[in-house]
Chains A and B, each alone.
Chain A
Amino acid sequence: MEETKKISSEIGQSKERFGTKLARFHDKHYKLLLLIPAIILLFSFIYLGVFYSKTGDFIYRDISLTGGTTVTIYEKKPIDQVKDDLSGKLESPDVRGIYDLITREQKAFIIETKSDANTTRTVLEEYLGYTLNEENSSFEFTGASLSSSFFRQLVIAVILAFFFMAIVVFIMFRTFVPSTAIIISAFADILMTLVLFNLLGYKLSSAGIVAFLMLIGYSVDTDILLTNRVLKRHGESVNRKIWGAFKTGMTMTLTSILAVLFALIIVGSFSGILTQIFTILIIGLGFDMLNTWLTNVSIIKWYALRKEKNETRV
């Protein structure tokens, strides 16, 4: 009994030691740590610049943003073969399968193409040898001009959302540096997510843009938590406040990531829309950890320590 107490107190001590070590390390290097997100951010800007000059766009758009047809056909057929057979007949066709959650048996396949609905229908009916109706298929067609208008509007929606969020943050904290730190972190979060999404070769859909909107909300709440704890609480050292916020914030983000990950695995091939939303959220929440606990923490610590110093000087 005594022994276990001793051991646990030792563990407690080593924990404490780890804590103080970490605090000392952080005190010494926190400004330097800011370099990590800064470098990634710089890389992101360069990457997007190059990407834009190569493709004339900031993302690869899927057909919900370029216009075209998505057809789901409820039949078992090897994906690669379908793709080979259709290329040349349809404009840049993309084929993927839908599989049962448990048995992994193929239930359907989905074809995405820039061709219009009627052309696609004719080509597919000829290829499959039967008439496509609502019993055996789903068609989704979006015209090219509508999709590009959608794209413009959704981008405007994201920009407006970001702008409104920034206003709320400023009203909430009424101080320049901490508010700007939150906004920079949120911005970095979105930008880095976008870059990784591109790097992975994914094509963005209209629902994916919605995920970015969602990300604004998710990414600022840990920042707000941190800033609130550091600025509006008294009687604790800055490090202790940050550490407390870190524990709460990490629990929040990890909970969200795990929840979304489970949902992603289950939804799997079933819904392109939900899969994309979940993927973007997971990437974004990952970067949120980086940006809150490196970017935002460093700036707010810098600010809080300087304020403390000034106050003691006065």
Chain B
Amino acid sequence: MKLGFRVWILVIVLFLALLVVAPWKTFDKGVLIKSVETNSTAFEQGFRQGQIITTIDGISIGSLEDYSEALQGKFILNQSQKMIFTLKDSEVIYFSDRVPEITVDKIPKTNLKLGLDLVGGSRALVKAQGVQLSQAQVSDLVDVTENRLNEFGLTDLKVRPVSDLEGNSFMLIEIAGATPADLESLISQQGKFEAKIGNQTVFVGGADRDIAFVCRGDPTCARVDIPQQIQGGYAAQFSFTITLTAEAAKRHAGVTNNLSISSSDPQYLSLPLDLYVDDNLQSTLQISKDLKGRVTTQISISGSGTGTTEEEAVKAAEEEMHKLQTILITGSLPYKLEIVKLDTISPVLGDEFTRVILVAGFLALVAASMVVFARYRKIKASLAMIFTSSSEIIIILGIAALIGWNLDLPSIAGILATIGTGFDDQIVILDEARRERFLSLKQRLKLAFAIILGAYFTVVVSMLPLLWAGAGLLKGFAFTTLIGITAGVFITRPAFSDMIRKMEEQTYF
């Protein structure tokens, strides 16, 4: 049977969509390198983000467990080890005394990106407190926040400005996978750092301001002490040093020069150095009398963490220190922030949820085609309908994969809406083709498309407002619906009409 050109267009588009979605990736074996630490040995020796490790020393790596098993016990003696990593199309011979500085993850099964509500992760919608930010201000905010989260060690994240119908501007942060425990304070903490003597500000935070260097990850200048027992648990002290710029240090000297010796404790000067984070007193340093008027560049900052056990206290102190260091390095945010929406979704039920949706979609398709079969008693037409609707879904997925759209629940609802209108349109086509009137088949199908286009434009215009309402959180619905029905009206449904014409012409005469 000769295929009409509309069917050919559908077949080609379908082929391209499948190529983009790449469902055969499901069969890929190995683990994916998600990130490589910059300037690390691993980077020097050839590891890059996006590579896929298939074997290590000849042992095939099929899962994350295999990967950690392969590395287990290799680098404990601080002796250099040689390991051969086979990548998908190359090989890395790794020689070092440290575990490669890379993070790995499962290979994604397709090129589709699933939304947080399906795979887990966190999302925060953040607003400046009390002020309405301009576009430029929001994008500054986005930069600082992104920098701060990266500095904290989060890599797989998206920060972008969004605005809504009422003219509010927000910053939307989306983090895939694991959620750090203190995400909330990390995002919303303004991080305004000030050191005061009396009520005089001596220096302020931020790498480009008065702080030249923040010690981190070096036990000689950043450490957590052994926890002390306190009432109801343990408390651990942490301290780390920061280095002031020469100018800030001079200013510091100028202020201490004017201080007298303390009357109560002659070891120290009369006023201490108070360190504030977001206007809260973080620590107070007594200034030794020897330092009066001296240029000091190194200042120690301390704090503590508590917990019911010793380990918990140490962990809390470490986390608090890490957060404080991050804030001091990346500088303060220009505004007080407010988290207006915060979702942290566990990945636990993600796979099952996806499965449920697939089953639901499949059964909906079957149910609809059963109704059609019951009415028309034509197996070929019913199969053509299933084919047409399935290809609409594949085309939507293809476009989503192409532009990296996150398929969240609203997007999936949009796909369902598309299938629904698709079936409606196909029924219109079938019925118009069957009306045995004086018009030619071609004219009748043209009439069908008058109805279909009318319905199409009503849906298009009714979806438009949703692209802006509600900070774009429901945008996915409008987006997939628009793509789906557009592909439907211009590609799949004309092809369906061609198929029906072929079938009708064959049976008619």
Contacts and interface: CB of A to CB of B under 8 A. Distances in A.
B164 A220 contact: no
A38 interface: no
Interface in B370-407: 370-372, 375
Contact of A168 (B356, B424, B447, B458): B458
Contacts of A247: 431
B8 interface: no
Contact of B470 (A150, A218, A235, A270): A150
B165 A157 contact: yes
A260 B431 CA distance: 22
Interface stretch (A6-14, A18-26, A128-136, A291-299): A128-136
A32 B281 CA distance: 78
Nearest to A267: B360
A122 interface: no
A135 B469 contact: no
B461 to A, nearest CB: 4
Interface string B61-87: 000000000000000000000000000
Interface in B357-371: 357, 359-361, 363-368, 370-371
Contact of B458 (A98, A107, A224, A262): A224
Contacts of A164: 461-462, 464-465
A216 B164 contact: no
Interface stretch (A50-58, A191-199, A248-256, A301-309): A248-256
A251 B371 contact: yes
A217 B168 CA distance: 29
Interface string B329-369: 00000000011111111111100110011011101111110
A143 interface: yes
B474 A210 contact: yes
A146 B176 CA distance: 23
Given A142-B340, A153-B166, A252-B427, A134 B120 contact: yes
Interface stretch (B152-160, B204-212, B409-417): B409-417
Residue with the greatest number of chain A CB neighbours at <10 A, chosen from B164, B353, B470, B474: B470
A267 B357 contact: yes
B441 interface: no
A135 B346 CA distance: 6
Contacts of A254: 371
Contact of B450 (A134, A150, A228): A228
A111 B202 CA distance: 49
Contacts, number: 236
B301 interface: no
B427 A255 contact: yes
A167 B461 CA distance: 9
B193 interface: no
B470 A156 contact: no
Contacts of B342: 117, 139-141
Contact of A152 (B166, B343, B352): B166
Interface string B432-467: 000101100000000100110011011101111110
Contacts of B417: 214, 217
Given A207-B409, A217-B455, A255-B372, A138 B344 contact: yes
Given A256-B423, A267-B356, A74 B349 contact: yes
B420 interface: yes
A134 B344 contact: yes
Given A135-B346, A146-B340, A270-B356, A259 B410 contact: no
Interface in A229-285: 232-233, 235, 244, 247-248, 251-252, 254-256, 258-263, 266-267, 270-271, 273-274, 277
Contacts of B462: 161-162, 164-165, 213, 216-217
Nearest to A155: B469
Interface residues of A, number: 76
Contacts of A266: 356, 359-360, 363
A140 B409 contact: no
Contacts of A140: 342-345
Contacts of B353: 270-271
A115 interface: no
Where chain A touches its partner, the secondary structure class is: helix
B455 A139 contact: no
A74 B437 CA distance: 61
Contacts of A248: 427-428, 431
Nearest to A214: B417
Contact of A134 (B346, B365, B421): B346
A101 B340 CA distance: 34
B348 A135 contact: yes
Nearest to B423: A255
B74 to A, nearest CB: 28
A259 B435 contact: no
A258 B454 CA distance: 24
Given A150-B470, A244-B431, A74 B346 contact: yes
Contacts of B412: 274
Nearest to B438: A235
Contact of A149 (B120, B168, B352, B368): B168
A255 B451 contact: no
Given A140-B343, A251-B375, A266-B360, A273 B409 contact: yes
B210 to A, nearest CB: 33
B503 interface: no
A197 B141 CA distance: 42
A29 B240 CA distance: 88
B127 to A, nearest CB: 8
B1 interface: no
Interface of A: 72, 74, 98, 101, 107-108, 117, 133-143, 145-146, 149-150, 152-154, 156-158, 160-162, 164-165, 167-169, 172, 206-207, 210-211, 213-214, 216-218, 220-222, 224-225, 228, 232-233, 235, 244, 247-248, 251-252, 254-256, 258-263, 266-267, 270-271, 273-274, 277
29 contacts: A74-B348, A107-B352, A134-B120, A134-B344, A139-B344, A141-B339, A142-B341, A149-B168, A157-B470, A158-B465, A161-B466, A165-B462, A168-B457, A169-B458, A210-B477, A211-B413, A214-B417, A218-B424, A220-B455, A224-B451, A228-B450, A233-B447, A248-B431, A259-B364, A260-B416, A263-B363, A266-B359, A273-B413, A274-B360
The 5 closest A-B pairs by CB, nearest first: A164-B461, A161-B462, A157-B465, A266-B360, A217-B459
